[in-house]
C-alpha cells in the first residue's frame, strides 16, 4: 500500500468510517468490502446478497459525482483529518434509488426519520470493491472495551462459554433490560452486553453516560464470571426490523450463539410495530442466520408481585403494570423529578440525574 498517498481520495463520514472498520475486523462478515450493484439490488429487494446469503440492508460507499469521476480502479479512503484508513479496489460505480432504498430499509421515505436523513445526505454514486486496511480509525474512548470479534471469541473459549447471548442497546439499561438479560442467563453460559457507541441521533443519551450506567449495573447486579461488557462500534441506522437482523448477524460474528430481541428493536418514532422485529426473524429458516433469537414480550414492573414480569408470567391488569417511556424519563430529568426504583436501579438513576439532567433539552 506504499502508493496509497498517490491515489484519488474519498473522504468518509462517521457512518462510513464505522462501516469500514466493522468490515475490516470481520464484524460484518461475509462482507469484505462495500457492496456492488447486484448485492445492493438483492439486499434492498429481498434482504439477501446476490448469492442468497441473508443480509438485511446495504453496506455501500456513497460519494458525490465529482468524487466518483476522479476514481478509477483504486481509491484511498480517508478520515475527516485526511489520514488514509484503507485502500479500496474499485470494481464498480453505480447509482441507486435513494427513495426506494429508504422505503425498503426504513419503511418510510420521510426525512424526519434519522436513518433516511443520513441516507439522503450522502452522494448519489456508489463505489464497490474490497478494502485493504492501512490504519484503523484512531479511538480515544472506551479503549479497554473495544474488543474485536476474534478477541471476543477467544475470550469466550477461555472462559469455557459454549453458549453466549448478545444484548444490543443504545440506551441505559433499565429494569426491563436487566430482566431480559437475566432470563437469558438462566439458559446460556454467559452474556455479552454490547452497547452501540457509533453515530446516534443527537437526542440519544451520550455513550459516555451510558457506559457509566452499564458499569454500575454489571458491577452491582450481575455475576462477574458470567457477563462481559464490550462496545459495539457500529453506526445506528434506526432501521427497526432490518437492523435487528443485522445486529444478530454481527453478534454471531463476535461469537454469540443467541441474541435477545425485545420490543421495538432499533426503532424510532412510530415507524415500526412493537414486535415487527420478532416477526421478521420468523421469515428466515431455522439456523439460516447462524444465531438463535430469544424473543421476549414487553416487560414491566408488576405491582402485585413486586418484581419484573411479562404478560406470560403475570395476571396483573394495566393498573398494576408500571412502565415508563423514554419520553417520560426525559421529562422527569428535565423537571428534576426522581427516577423511580421500579424503572431502573438507584446507581443508574443517580448517573442519569448527574449527567443528563443539566443538558437534556425539551
- In the set 9, 146, 171, 298, the catalytic residue is 171
Spatial contact of 266 and 237, defined as CB atoms under 8 Å apart: yes
What is the structure's pLDDT at 285? 92
- Please provide the CATH number assigned to the domain covering 4-133: 3.10.400.10
What is the structure's pLDDT at 329? 81
- CATH 3.40.50.620 location in the chain: 143-355
pLDDT tens for the chain, 362 residues: list them. 668 889 999 999 999 999 999 999 999 999 999 999 999 999 999 999 999 999 999 999 999 999 999 999 999 999 999 999 999 999 999 999 999 999 999 999 999 999 999 999 999 999 999 999 999 999 999 999 999 999 999 999 999 999 999 999 998 888 999 999 999 999 999 999 999 999 999 888 899 999 999 999 999 999 999 999 999 999 999 999 999 999 999 999 999 999 999 889 999 999 999 999 999 999 999 899 999 999 999 899 999 999 999 999 999 999 999 988 777 887 888 788 889 999 999 999 999 988 875 555 43
Give the whole-angstrom CA distance, residue 125 versus residue 111.
19
- Between the CA of residue 5 and those of 82, 137, 274, what are the distances in Å? 10, 17, 49
Report angle CA 13, 18, 21 to the nearest 5 degrees. 120
What is the structure's pLDDT at 172? 85
258: β partners: 165, 292
What is the structure's pLDDT at 263? 87
- In the set 170, 210, 242, 330, the catalytic residue is 170
Give the whole-angstrom CA distance, residue 248 versus residue 293.
8
Catalytic (active site) residue 170: yes
What is the structure's pLDDT at 358? 56
Among candidate residues 146, 139, 196, the one with its CA nearest the CA of residue 168: 196
- Hey, what CATH topology would domain 143-355 get? Rossmann fold (3.40.50)
Among candidate residues 259, 223, 257, the one with its CA nearest the CA of residue 243: 259
Report angle CA 236, 242, 246 to the nearest 5 degrees. 65
pTM of structure: 0.94
84: β partners: 78
Amino acid at each position: 500500500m506504499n502508493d496509497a498517498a498517490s491515489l484519488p481520495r474519498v473522504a468518509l463520514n462517521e457512518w462510513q468510517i464505522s462501516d469500514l472498520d466493522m468490515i475490516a475486523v470481520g464484524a460484518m462478515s461475509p462482507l469484505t468490502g462495500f457492496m456492488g450493484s447486484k448485492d445492493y439490488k438483492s439486499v434492498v429487494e429481498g434482504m439477501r446478497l446476490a448469492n442468497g446469503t441473508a443480509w438485511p440492508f446495504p453496506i455501500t460507499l456513497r460519494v458525490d459525482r465529482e468524487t466518483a469521476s476522479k476514481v478509477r480502479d483504486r481509491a484511498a479512503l480517508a478520515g475527516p483529518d485526511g489520514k488514509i484508513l484503507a485502500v479500496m479496489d474499485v470494481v464498480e460505480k453505480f447509482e441507486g434509488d435513494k427513495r426506494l432504498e429508504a422505503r425498503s430499509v426504513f419503511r418510510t421515505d420521510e426525512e424526519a426519520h434519522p436513518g433516511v436523513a443520513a441516507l439522503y445526505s450522502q452522494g448519489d454514486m456508489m463505489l464497490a470493491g474490497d478494502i485493504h486496511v492501512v490504519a484503523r480509525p484512531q479511538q480515544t474512548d472506551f479503549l479497554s472495551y473495544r474488543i474485536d470479534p476474534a478477541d471476543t471469541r477467544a475470550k469466550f473459549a477461555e472462559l469455557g462459554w459454549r453458549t453466549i447471548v448478545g444484548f444490543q442497546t443504545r440506551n441505559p439499561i433499565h429494569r426491563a433490560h436487566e430482566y431480559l438479560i437475566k432470563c437469558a442467563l438462566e439458559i446460556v453460559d454467559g452474556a455479552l452486553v454490547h452497547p452501540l457507541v457509533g453515530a446516534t441521533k443527537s437526542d440519544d443519551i451520550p455513550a459516555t453516560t451510558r457506559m457509566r450506567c452499564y458499569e454500575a449495573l454489571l458491577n452491582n447486579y450481575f455475576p462477574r464470571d458470567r457477563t462481559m461488557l464490550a462496545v459495539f462500534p457500529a453506526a445506528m441506522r434506526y432501521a427497526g426490523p432490518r437492523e435487528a437482523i443485522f445486529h444478530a448477524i454481527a453478534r454471531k460474528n463476535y461469537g454469540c450463539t443467541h441474541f435477545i430481541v425485545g420490543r421495538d428493536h432499533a426503532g424510532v418514532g412510530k415507524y415500526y410495530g412493537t414486535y415487527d422485529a420478532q416477526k421478521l426473524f420468523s421469515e428466515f429458516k431455522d439456523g439460516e442466520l447462524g444465531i438463535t433469537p430469544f424473543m421476549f414480550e414487553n416487560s414491566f414492573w408488576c405491582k402485585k408481585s413486586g418484581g419484573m414480569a411479562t404478560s406470560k408470567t403475570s395476571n396483573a391488569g394495566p393498573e398494576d403494570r408500571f412502565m415508563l417511556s423514554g419520553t417520560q424519563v426525559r421529562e422527569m430529568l428535565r423537571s428534576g423529578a426522581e427516577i423511580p426504583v421500579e424503572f431502573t436501579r438507584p446507581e443508574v438513576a443517580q448517573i442519569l440525574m448527574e449527567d443528563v439532567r443539566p443538558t437534556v433539552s425539551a
